[in-house]
Amino acid sequence: MTFHVLITDPLSEEGIQPLREAKNIHVVVDTELTPEQLEEKIVGFDALLVRSQTQVTRSLISKAKNLKIIGRAGVGVDNIDLEAATEHGIIVVNAPNGNTNSAAEHTMAMIMALSRNIPQAYLALKNHEWNRKKYVGVELKDKTLGVIGLGRIGSEVAYRAKGQRMNVIAYDPFLTKEKAEKMGIGCGTFEEVIQQADFITVHTPLMKETRHLINADAFAKMKDGVYIVNCARGGIIDEDALYDAIVSGKVAGAALDVFEEEPFHEHRLLELPQVVATPHLGASTVEAQEIVAIDVSRDVIRYLNGEPVKNPVNLPSLPKDVLATIEPYFHLAEKLGAFLIDLVKEVAEEIHIYYSGELYDVEVSPLTRNTVKGILKRHLGSHVNDVNALYLAERRDITVRESKTSSNKGFTNLITVEIKTKSQTRRVSGTLLNGLGPRIVKVDDYSVDVTPKGHMVFIQHIDMPGVIGRMGSILAKHDINIATMQVDRSDVGGSAMMMLTIDRHLDDAALEELKKLQEINDVVAIDL
């Protein structure tokens, strides 16, 4: 099968080599599409790769019938409608580490350009104006830099600013005093930081909570003559409030790499001589562009080939060692879900998954998603996947619970899935046998040992002589060959079960005939 990948923003040619070299991938680069043209073109593609320019809207996603993955060659995913992608089962991956250095270096370049009026002085010189008096700057040494958002880039900026002998103080909801001390910087509340800083640089994502974080109120609290830097996202700073604060003299100058609307040809902030600006160049280095394109290309290849990705945005990402522990269980988890939903033959109202043994101590949410996927696929079809399984369950008011239990019933690992429907509660347990692969080891209270694969029949009957023979004759009459068979019972003459694996699907005629046997209480055909 060949997968089709569309690239709509300029990506490093070296960076997309892994995609070009992949045998089952066909790459199309088209960076000139209008939104309307993109909506038409997207239909035939399995993957879409973008930077920050392409707007991946709900409308585009709804047209992308074959789309499985969106790759963002960079950090910010505010140009992608994540909610719509999740609802449609499309995974979004980004490249969070590749451009950190470049963005931090660009921020420092902007701070220095701002403090020494370098762009303005250069422009004057180009216009034959030699004016030393007009472009007197300020030193950075001993000034306080306030960093709002001390993540990857904010931290790198903080380290570099210390190299300029600035005092650094930061605000980040996740910043502890201990971490700040370790980094040799101060920390404070948002208000404390903006009140004390001579330069303020923002490095948060753009989200509901950070939109216009720096607004008229915030400017009012700042020192007179403060400098403002934004190399993160337009919209974190209220541009109208910034304009007013510069005109009033509250803000001495601003360095902006990002804007509320991009791209543009004219901007009123750029008419102010105190503003220096670049057109979203923070990540635009040869090195960063190559790394982010490689990272995202590799994740696209992994995902299209059914392997776990490294940098999912709409799924939690897991450390390598955890992934290595749980990956072998992905298949078992999905099959247990599928087996059980076939068994209950009703819509699930509650799903409870119990993990024990070696799964007791690890993050198991991907297994939970796989189990729910196995269950929901039976009712909702093949568009259910790891990305949207939990979302779809929630939308249908199906409660999904996950528990760790130390009772492993003698197995080194055990997954038990329990489904509650309107009329019943049923359970199935499975394990991964060293060297032998997945096994179902318990159905309700009956012990079994069966590979969750192919066609099966689960029969509940009364424990009495002759049932097995009569059942066997009916299957033979319908030309259905039994591959394996197991029997278990609660007590002599009590309720019992048979678990068969057969060579083809148990058709309705055979099923109905089996059900007519007096000793048989229930027959379920299961196809995994």
Ligand X SMILES: NC(=O)C1=CN([C@@H]2O[C@H](COP(=O)(O)OP(=O)(O)OC[C@H]3O[C@@H](n4cnc5c(N)ncnc54)[C@H](O)[C@@H]3O)[C@@H](O)[C@H]2O)C=CC1
Of the candidates 467, 429, 459, which has an alpha carbon nearest to the alpha carbon of residue 525?
459
State which of positions 443-502 bind ligand X (CB under 6 A).
none
505 tagged catalytic:
no
- Out of ligand X, ligand AKG, none, what residue 203 binds, judged by CB under 5 to 8 A for its kind, is ligand X
Q: Cα–Cα distance between 502 and 455 in angstroms, integer? A: 6
Q: CA 425, CA 351: separation in Å to the nearest integer?
A: 10
**Residue 255 and residue 67: Cα distance in Å, rounded?**
38
CB of 97 to ligand X, least distance (A): 8
Minimum Å gap between C-beta 96 and ligand X is: 6
Q: Which of left, alpha, beta for 39 (phi over 0: left; psi -120 to 50: alpha)?
A: alpha
Q: Which of ligand X, ligand AKG, none does residue 51 bind (CB under 5 to 8 Å by kind)? A: ligand AKG
Other CB atoms within 10 Å distance of the CB of residue 176? 10
Of the candidate spans 12-20, 70-78, 87-95, 248-256, the one that interacts with ligand X by CB under 6 A turns out to be 70-78
User: Binding of ligand X at residue 204 (CB under 6 A)?
Assistant: yes
CB 117 within 8 A of CB 92: no
Binding mask 253-282 for ligand X (x = CB under 6 A): ----xx---------------------x-x
Query: 106 catalytic, yes or no?
Result: no
Give min distance, CB of 53 to ligand X, in A: 11
Q: Which residues contact 99 (CB under 8 A, 6 or more apart)?
A: 74, 75, 282, 283, 285, 288, 289, 291, 292
Rounded Cα–Cα distance for residues 36 and 5 (Å): 18
Stretch of 80-88, 98-106, 310-318, 449-457 lying at the interface with ligand X (CB under 6 A): 98-106
Nearer to ligand AKG, 51 or 461 (CB): 51
18 upstream amide cis, omega within 30 of 0: no
Smaller CB separation from ligand AKG, 99 or 314: 99
Q: Which of ligand X, ligand AKG, none has residue 209 at its interface (CB below 5 to 8 Å by kind)?
A: ligand X
Q: Which residues of the chain form contacts with ligand AKG (CB under 6 A)? A: 51-52, 74-76, 99, 280, 282-284
Using CB under 6 A as the binding rule, whether residue 232 contacts ligand X is answered as yes
Q: How far is the CB of 234 from ligand AKG (least distance, A)?
A: 10
Nearer to ligand AKG, 52 or 371 (CB): 52
**Of 233, 298, 369, 426, catalytic:** 233
Please state the closest distance from residue 102 (CB atom) to ligand AKG, in A. 9
372 belongs to the binding site for ligand X (CB under 6 A): no
Residue 209 touches ligand X, criterion: CB under 6 A = yes
Q: What three-state secondary structure class fits 315? A: coil
Closest CB to ligand X among 101 and 408? 101
Structure tokens at 446: 């009956």
Rg (alpha carbons) of the chain, rounded to whole number? 31
Task: Work out which of 54, 86, 117, 210 binds ligand X, going by CB under 6 A.
Answer: 210
Residue 160 in contact with ligand X, rule: CB under 6 A: no
Going through 213-317 in order, the beta strands assigned E by DSSP cover 226-230, 251-256, 275-277
Q: Is 13 a catalytic residue?
A: no
Pick between residue 106 and residue 442 the one whose CB is nearest to ligand AKG: 106
Q: Where are the alpha helices (DSSP H) in 387-466?
A: 389-395
Distance separating alpha carbons of residues 119 and 160, to the nearest angstrom: 21
Catalytic choice (39, 192, 262, 363): 262
Catalytic-labelled residue, pool 51, 88, 160, 280: 280
Query: Virtual CA dihedral for 249, 253, 258, 262, nearest 10 degrees?
Result: 60
CB-nearer residue toward ligand X: 315 or 343: 315
Q: Which residue is nearest to ligand X (CB)?
A: 151
Element containing residue 508 per DSSP (H, E): helix 508-516
Instruction: Give me 235's structure tokens.
Output: 């919209």
Question: Which of residues 172 and 290 has its CB atom nearest to ligand X in the complex?
Answer: 172
Distance in angstroms (rounded) separating the CA atoms of residues 338 and 438: 14
Tell me how far apart the alpha carbons of residues 25 and 9 are, in angstroms, rounded to a whole number: 18
Residue closer to ligand AKG by CB (options 75, 309) is 75
Residue 174 interacts with which of ligand AKG, ligand X, none, CB < 5 to 8 Å by class:
ligand X
- Give the binding-site size for ligand X (rule: CB under 6 A): 33
**How far apart are CB 73 and ligand AKG at their closest, in Å?**
6
Q: Least distance from C-beta 405 to ligand AKG, angstroms? A: 42
Provide DSSP, 133-195: TTT-----TTPEEEEE--SHHHHHHHHHHHHTT-EEEEE-TT--HHHHHHHT-EE--HHHHHH
Decide: helix, strand or coil at residue 365.
helix
Write out the catalytic residue numbers.
233, 262, 280
The residues binding ligand X (CB under 6 A) are: 74-76, 96, 99-100, 103, 148-154, 171-174, 203-206, 209-210, 213, 231-233, 257-258, 280, 282-283
